[in-house]
Amino acid sequence: MLKNPIEQNPSGVDRTMQRYRMLYELFHSITSTLEPQTALNLIIDAAVKITGATYGSLILIDWENKLLNIEVSRGFMKSISNMKLAVGEGITGWVAEHGEPILVPDVSRDDRYVTILDAIRCELAVPMKLKGKTIGVLNVDSTRPNAFTDEDLDLLTLLSKQSVQVIENGRVHTKAQRKVDELSSLININKAILSTLDSEEILRQVVQRAAILMDAALCSIMLISEDGEELVLKAHHGGSAEYAARPPMLLAESPFEQVIYTRGTLKIEDIGSHAGQGFANIAQNEHLKSLLSVPLIGRDRVIGVLNTYKSQRHRFTDDQTMLMKTFADLSAIAIDNAQLYETMFTLEEQARHTERLTSVGELAVSIAHEIRNPLTIIKMLFESGENLNDRDREVISEELHRMNKIITNLLDFTRSK
């Protein structure tokens, strides 16, 4: 059976209509998901399919660090997919910086091109814009020179414009879900740490749950010493035995001094290059790269710091910082309450001890009078110079028994206290 002539050898107009129809169908699949990673994979698959590209990549821009992050790719080896270019570097970097699409028929003739694969000959890249701001780049490559046309550019631009809102919707959905999860975690954590007045148990739970909440390699709590001169490690989750045995740190020589005095936060992306040498050595021994430190504030006074460490270089976001500050505030209340309870318990014990000593003292005065009488009688009998008769001996025995009973009662009383 012969196929439709248009399907066998479609005219230019028919071919264009088929491609736009294909794009519509692909876009319908893309908009059917709110899962960001699934959407990204569908977008890059659509880009490669409608342009007939050999390679493809979808790049999101980290404007804070001026970096291009390859989120998904097709055709490239993993090592290439993990590469990072700066904004302004290469064809994609140029598109990211200027927010304009570009079609390069022969990359060997374009000075902006950064060689990634020798086989690449032609490149097409379009910006992904949201509310006028470029948030990413949709890029396709081919091993054939002049592989892409202006029609490919139009199709890829349309795909980019339609897809960027899907990406944003996915981001919003993910962020909202993360906020719900974080709030749920904070509620559960708050219940757990407020369920006990044992300060050691509270400290242990705080560092353990903070490590889980932040996916951290190490979390620690350091509290200010009574004299206010040192920070003492009170609890940690992760870290070696050597770390656990570390001595108190002089506050004036620690990187946490500013956290204590300003009640602000400390974010160090690269501990080795930003912290003091002694502190950097500890971080190196524990294989720690980045730090977020927030104050623990109870009853409007700073009692210590809560530290979160990452084993990989990491730039802590404002959301992560706010999450840890909220967690630290809840934790500080629990820690302060436990310390207050323990202080009250100690004072009560001291009061009971003082009361016991007072009672014993009063009893001792009374007993002194009680013992003096039988001693006086015994003394008189011995000093009379007469031989003791049976009655005298009986009296002495009774008085000695009486004194022994008084002393026994005294001992029993003091022991019961």
* pLDDT computed for residue 1 by the predictor: 35
* Burial readout 235-258 (b: 16 or more C-beta within 10 A, e: otherwise): bbbbbeeebeeeeebebeebbbbe
278 and 193 assigned to the same domain:
yes
The pTM for the full model equals: 0.55
Average pLDDT across the chain, whole number: 81
pLDDT digits (tens, 9 = 90+) for 353-373: 666 666 666 666 666 666 666
Q: Which residue has the higher pLDDT, 417 or 217?
A: 217
pLDDT digits (tens, 9 = 90+) for 100-126: 999 999 999 999 999 888 899 999 999
Domain span including residue 374: 351-416
202 and 301 assigned to the same domain:
yes
Q: In whole angstroms, what is the distance from residue 80 CA to residue 17 CA?
A: 35
* pLDDT computed for residue 377 by the predictor: 67
Are residues 237 and 208 in contact, defined by beta-carbon separation less than 8 angstroms?
Answer: yes
150 and 286 assigned to the same domain:
no
70: tokens are 């390859």
Has residue 62 been placed in a domain?
A: yes
46 and 123 assigned to the same domain:
yes
Would you place residue 6 in the very low, low, confident or very high pLDDT band (cuts 50, 70, 90)?
very low
Q: Is the pLDDT of residue 395 over 60?
A: yes
Number of folded domains in the chain? Answer: 3
Has residue 295 been placed in a domain?
A: yes
Has residue 8 been placed in a domain?
A: no
Closest alpha carbon to 291 in 265, 267, 322: 267
pLDDT digits (tens, 9 = 90+) for 185-233: 777 767 766 676 777 888 888 898 889 888 899 999 999 998 889 999 9
Residue appearing with tokens 């490239």: 76
Q: Is the pLDDT of residue 275 over 60?
A: no
101 and 234 assigned to the same domain:
no
321: domain CATH number is 3.30.450.40
Query: Measured in whole angstroms, how far is the alpha carbon of residue 417 from the centre of its chain?
Result: 49
23 and 39 assigned to the same domain:
yes
Q: Give percent of the chain with pLDDT exceeding 90.
A: 32
Ramachandran angles phi, psi of 248, nearest 5°? -55, 150
* pLDDT computed for residue 100 by the predictor: 96
Q: Which residue has the higher pLDDT, 264 or 186?
A: 264
Has residue 2 been placed in a domain?
A: no
